[in-house]
Structure 1
Amino acid sequence: MIREPKLYTTSADYVYHEIRHKIITKQLKPGQRLPEVNIAAELGVSRTPVREALRRLASEGLVMIIPNSGARLASPSRKEMENTYVVREALECLAAELAAKNITERALRRLEDTIADEIRAFEEKNLELYLEVNEEFHRIIADSSGNRVLAEYIENILARTNAYVMFYDPFYDIEDNPSIEQHKGIVKALRMRDQEKAVELMREHLKLSLLDLRKPEE
């Protein structure tokens, strides 16, 4: 697929998206060094926007910035990923429970729209779009919980687990995506106002998502 050109508001925004795209398309590997001077030369910018972009990527869990050593692509351990998913499961199951009481018809339609976009992104093997719509699906449920603090915590942890998907999910190698059917089931439970079922399906979905990550045991 040909990547459409984008307009960026700042040089840092441009650098951020270029590096992120290289991570998504597996041009960069976990643990790889990211020298500021090399990136600046390659992208035709100064080191300042590169530094800003790397800090932004670090805040999302994609990059590690090591004092006196520079930046490297993150390389999370299996234990770190498991610990993160334990926290995400607790937060999102609570969000699903609350959303089953509070969700609006408009939010339910938005969830159905994101599933349609998710199907398209998977068929096109567009991981960048897939991550965007997948995150939107979970964000809508979090927002529908009615608890703003909970929604903010979930948004933060979604960025971290998205990093794991970029590194270790076999997105480009699989023919069927079970996540889509899991999402449909969650929406059905929310529409029925079935709190217990919504929580059960969300928990199962997140456990399976972790199992799908192909990170060697350590």
Structure 2
Amino acid sequence: MAKLPEIGYKISLTERAYEIIKDAIMTNVFKPGELLIEEKLAEQLAISRTPLRAALRRLAYEHLIEINSSRNATVVNISQKDVEEITIVREVLEPLAVKQLENNIKSNELKKLKNIFEIQKKAIAENNYTELIKKEYEFHVSISKFTHNKWLYEMVKDTNTIIQRYLILSGSLNKYKEVAIREHENIIHGIEEKNYSSAESSMKLHISNVSRRMLK
């Protein structure tokens, strides 16, 4: 099992443990099927088992790990069927999120969305795949956040967490980054021009294309 940094005491131990372990899973430091032993995690993070267990329960809720009867956790694998099923959900939720931006998104929020896009372009130019993956997730989640619908936002976050992992495992975003960024540009253009039907269609096409590219 990979070595984790100690947490310290400046922030919530549960929150920090959650962030560190999740990051290790999302970046494939902890690989699919790997056993995470509670005792070793607590020792490496220099925290007691109480906040650690709370963090692990949160990760299990997000379908990133499974916890067995011995309270040890296993990193969940992602199958082709998982991606196909999540894509069906995303093709409904995320075009809906775009539609909900109409008469709802604020000018500073549109500016933030465009800034994410610009950082993505810079990441591509600098071949910074880690930043590109991070901003791919942020782009999709931000659109749902700007709807100010907390239920839609939470569901989009959950599905994109799983997809982000698969993007890392498959390497497809790096291979098709130029195509993906053009698809993001089409979505932003539709929103900026207040052509929400076009932006909605562009989002649905993008999600469908992402799934197809991942499963090639």
TM-score over 0.5 for the pair: yes
- The residue aligned with 2:188 is 187
CA displacement, residues 60-113 of structure 1 (integer Å, 9 cap, x when unaligned)? 221112334631001122112211111111011112223245433332211111
Number of aligned residues: 209
Deviates more, 1:173-182 or 1:193-202: 173-182
CA distance in 1 between counterparts of 2:139 and 2:22 reads: 21
CA distance in 2 between counterparts of 1:14 and 1:148 reads: 23
Shift of 1:184: 1.1
Code of the residue aligned with 2:27 in structure 1: it is T
Shift of 1:166: 4.1
Shift of 1:210: 1.7
- The residue aligned with 1:211 is 212
CA distance in 2 between counterparts of 1:118 and 1:49 reads: 35
CA displacement, residues 159-187 of structure 1 (integer Å, 9 cap, x when unaligned)? 3333333443445x648443222111100
Detail structure 1 runs of 4+ shifted over 6 Å in the superposition: none
**1:68-217 pair list within 5 angstroms:** 68=70, 70-122=72-124, 123=126, 125=128, 127=130, 129-145=131-147, 147-170=149-172, 174=175, 176-213=177-214
Question: Aligned in 2, Cα 1:147/1:214: closer, same or farther, shift over 3 Å?
Answer: same
- The residue aligned with 2:23 is 21
Code of the residue aligned with 1:200 in structure 2: it is S
CA distance in 2 between counterparts of 1:112 and 1:60 reads: 28
Code of the residue aligned with 1:208 in structure 2: it is N
CA displacement, residues 94-152 of structure 1 (integer Å, 9 cap, x when unaligned)? 1222324543333221111111222344536352x445433332233224446444334
Instruction: Report 1 or 2 for greater relative contact order, CA contacts < 8 Å, sequence distance ≥ 6.
Output: 1
User: Once superposed, what is the RMSD of the aligned Cα atoms?
Assistant: 3.0
Question: Aligned in 2, Cα 1:131/1:55: closer, same or farther, shift over 3 Å?
Answer: farther
Question: Aligned in 2, Cα 1:78/1:36: closer, same or farther, shift over 3 Å?
Answer: same
TM-score (norm 2): 0.79
TM-score (norm 1): 0.79
| Counterpart contact for 1:61–1:163, Cα < 8 Å | no
Question: Aligned in 2, Cα 1:156/1:206: closer, same or farther, shift over 3 Å?
Answer: same
Question: Aligned in 2, Cα 1:50/1:150: closer, same or farther, shift over 3 Å?
Answer: closer
| Counterpart contact for 2:133–2:164, Cα < 8 Å | yes
Question: Aligned in 2, Cα 1:82/1:47: closer, same or farther, shift over 3 Å?
Answer: same
| Counterpart contact for 2:98–2:196, Cα < 8 Å | yes
- The residue aligned with 1:52 is 54
Deviates more, 1:106-115 or 1:39-48: 39-48
Identity %, equivalent residues = 27
CA distance in 1 between counterparts of 2:7 and 2:129 reads: 16
Code of the residue aligned with 1:125 in structure 2: it is N
Code of the residue aligned with 1:158 in structure 2: it is N
